[in-house]
Amino acid sequence: MAQECAHPHEHAGLTGTALGSRLAAAEAVCLRRDQKLTAPRRRVLELLLEAGQPVKAYDLMAAFDAQAPAKPPTVYRALEFLEREGFAHRIESLNAFVACDQPAAEGEVHAAAFLICDCCGVTREIEPRQDGSLTREAERAGYRIKAVTVEAHGLCQSCQDA
């Protein structure tokens, strides 16, 4: 994982009305899909949205409740659900999770690309260009793609300027 750099950065997670709106939207999606956004699932999503950057599972456990950390199965089950339903992504190279900025429309394949700063750790989700070649190649091989994730490491603008 990236080290803290000496220069300032903004890691803007959601708060207030914006946070409430995203949680309400997730609940509405779950209702349409006949799924439940249980209290633990909602709390983990809330923590990811507030962070605005990748968070390791054990950090989610520690932040879950002010009185006592959550147990690993609680957080991992919630993360599994959030990933499956398209509310979160796992950033494999960081072994961390981040809230999805660009959820897919119902029935669509979600493609996400992450730009990860190797200096400060800031992560930005972008939508990669899709020319359909990956989907066509997968179909020829007998696969149906559900999701595509690309991770690109480099330096954010702030770290380049510093």
pLDDT digits (tens, 9 = 90+) for 71-104: 999 999 999 999 999 999 999 999 999 999 876 6
Separation of alpha carbons 150 and 162, rounded Å = 26
Query: Residue 113 above 60 pLDDT?
Result: yes
pLDDT tier, 43 (very low <50, low <70, confident <90, very high otherwise): very high
Q: For the chain, what percent of residues have pLDDT higher than 90?
A: 57
What is the rounded (10 degree) CA torsion for 40, 44, 50, 52? -170
| Average pLDDT of the residues in 52-59 | 94
- The pLDDT assigned to 1 comes to 43
Backbone dihedral region of 16: left (phi > 0), alpha (psi from -120 to 50 degrees) or beta?
A: left
Token pair recorded at residue 4:
């803290």
112: Cβ contacts below 8 Å, ≥ 6 apart: 89, 100, 102, 125, 126, 127, 128, 147, 148, 149, 150
Flag whether pLDDT at 2 surpasses 60: no
What is residue 4's predicted lDDT score, i.e. its pLDDT? 63
More confident: 123 or 8: 123
Q: Beta strand pairing status for 110-117 and 96-99?
A: unpaired
Reported as a single tens digit per residue, the pLDDT across 8-38 is: 666 678 999 999 999 999 999 999 999 999 9
Quick one: which of 64, 58, 59, 62 has its CA closest to 42? Answer: 64
Residue 57's nearest CA partner among 93, 90, 14, 87 is: 90
CATH second-level architecture of 16-161? Orthogonal Bundle (1.10)
Inter-residue contact 85 to 77 (CB < 8 Å): no
More confident call, 123 vs 5: 123
Q: How confident is the model at residue 6 (pLDDT cuts 50, 70, 90)?
A: confident
Q: Which among 145, 142, 140, 139 has a CA at the least distance from the CA of 112?
A: 145
Write out the two tokens for 95. 């072994």
Note the pLDDT of residue 38. Answer: 95
Looking at residue 58, its pLDDT comes to 94
CA dist., res. 8 & res. 32, Å (int): 41
What lies within 8 Å, CB to CB, of 109 at 6+ separation is: 135, 145, 146, 147, 148
